[in-house]
Amino acid sequence: MRIAICDDDEQELARLSELIAKYQLNSGENIDCRSFQNSTDFLCGQKGGEYDLILLDASISGKSGVQAARELRERDRNVEIIFVSSSPEFAVESYSVGAYYYLLKPIEADALFPLLYRIGSKLSGQEEQGFVLKSRKGVVRIVFSRLEFVEVIDKTVSFHLADGTVYEVTAALADFEEKLLGRPEFFKTHRSYLVNFHYIQSIGINCVETKNGHDIPVSRQRRNSLQHAYMRFLSKTETEILRNDGQTGRGSGGVERTEDAYGGAWRILLVDDDMAERTYWADILRAHGCMVQIAKNGGDAVKLAAKEAFDCVLLIFQRWISCFWEEAPTGNRESSARTSGRYGNSSGIM
């Protein structure tokens, strides 16, 4: 398990490092642990996928712990985050970034060790799911949960991992399609590309943007099926979260789920040109049980609204509102008016 500790208190940093070393000795688990005293230094150079768990001081110097966690979520949706703090004042905010847990200092072994065990067990289960690849760098193991996308160019198939590593093999994409497309998280967006739904940041007209900033082409023939498959995947993921939590009608953290008048999840079109803001609002809406479609600008929003019906359109920047309102189809214009009243208005958001 790869762990990062971020805390500007030297004594607490040493204490946490000692506790993790003690856990490693007792459990026999292989742990790579690194320490940082400033969140800015920690974030510098992070692409996502470098760590499985981050112990993050909620009030660390540099960027605040919650702000740092939001940036981490842009780069890695799967990393587990445990906030550590001397005060519970950040506990509620920690849910907005999907924190795994919130611990109060001083951290004791009986509080930390069970969390490390649970996260380690979860990771062990994920690591069992993968396949062996004879790449040009040698024989490697590709873990499904770390595979961001696959592309083929001139008979070279490239496997792009979330941490930026790329493995290449001389083959055809068809040689791996059965293995990958048999899993619900992978989709073929183009004759030369497969993408992992877990790493999708937004779906545009002609491409998919991943959380690590890659643009994956989407063919015209696969555009509609991609959107429907992604919506089904999100819906299934939410259902599994509810089943695991054992809380009917609630999302993770006990948050009330939002449903429309017909009993289904609200369908929301989220429009924002800022990747960090898109991630932040999309995560909150999905945590409340909404199905979210994302557009990076007003033009993309108009095209999506012309093809699909939404219960609500959430516009982050006011400069798009008049453009969208004038060009939006009548049906969705009325829907936007009704649901904006349901949510209420605030500056820059409709």
**Mean pLDDT confidence for 104-118:** 85
Residues 6+ apart with CB under 8 A from 336: 310, 312, 313, 325, 328, 350
pLDDT digit string, tens, across residues 44-85: 767 777 888 988 887 765 557 778 888 887 777 778 888 888
Of 46, 69, 55, the closest CA to residue 8 belongs to: 55
Residue at 304: amino acid letter: L
pTM summary value: 0.41
pLDDT digit string, tens, across residues 162-204: 888 899 999 999 999 998 998 889 999 999 999 999 899 888 8
Distance CA 345, CA 185 (A): 35
Is 80 in a helix, a strand, or coil? strand
pLDDT bracket for residue 287 (50, 70, 90):
low
Choose between 52 and 344: higher pLDDT. 52
Contact 106/81 with Cβ under 8 angstroms? no
Is 44 in a helix, a strand, or coil? coil
Tally the C-alpha atoms within 13 A of residue 145's C-alpha that lie toward its C-beta.
Answer: 14
Q: What are the residue ranges spanned by the domains of the chain? A: 2-127, 130-200, 228-343
- Name the fold adopted by 228-343: Rossmann fold (3.40.50)
Report the relative pairing of strands 156-161 and 147-153 from DSSP bridges: antiparallel
Structure-block tokens of residue 223? 């555009």
The mean-pLDDT minimum among 100-114, 152-166, 335-349 falls in 335-349
Contact 115/100 with Cβ under 8 angstroms? yes
The total number of residues written for the chain in this structure: 350
Dihedral angle over CA of 102, 107, 108, 114, nearest 10: 30
Distance CA 239, CA 37 (A): 38
Q: φ, ψ for residue 304 (rounded to 5)?
A: -65, -40
pLDDT digit string, tens, across residues 16-55: 889 988 888 877 778 888 888 877 777 776 777 788 898 8
Is 249 in a helix, a strand, or coil? coil
Q: In CATH terms, is domain 2-127 a member of 3.40.50.2300?
A: yes
The sheet carrying 215-217 orders its strands as: 200-203, 207-210, 215-217
Of 4, 72, 79, the closest CA to residue 34 belongs to: 4
Is 345 in a helix, a strand, or coil? coil
Distance CA 134, CA 132 (A): 7
Q: In CATH terms, is domain 130-200 a member of 3.40.190.10?
A: no
Distance CA 214, CA 208 (A): 8
DSSP for 199-235 reads: GEEEE-SSEEEETTSPEEE--GGGHHHHHHHHHHHHH
At 239 the pLDDT is 52
Q: Please give the DSSP secondary-structure letter assigned to residue 139.
A: E
CB atoms within 10 A of CB 322: 10
Strand partners, 312: 268
CA angle 47, 51, 52 (to 5 degrees): 130
pLDDT higher than 70, residue 121? yes
pLDDT higher than 90, residue 4? no
Distance CA 172, CA 263 (A): 45
Contact 319/342 with Cβ under 8 angstroms? no
The backbone region for 59, taken as left when phi is positive above 0, alpha when psi lies in -120 to 50, beta otherwise, is alpha
Is 314 in a helix, a strand, or coil? strand
Structure-block tokens of residue 142? 């590709």
Choose between 53 and 247: higher pLDDT. 53
**Mean pLDDT confidence for 262-284:** 74
Same fold, 2-127 and 228-343: yes
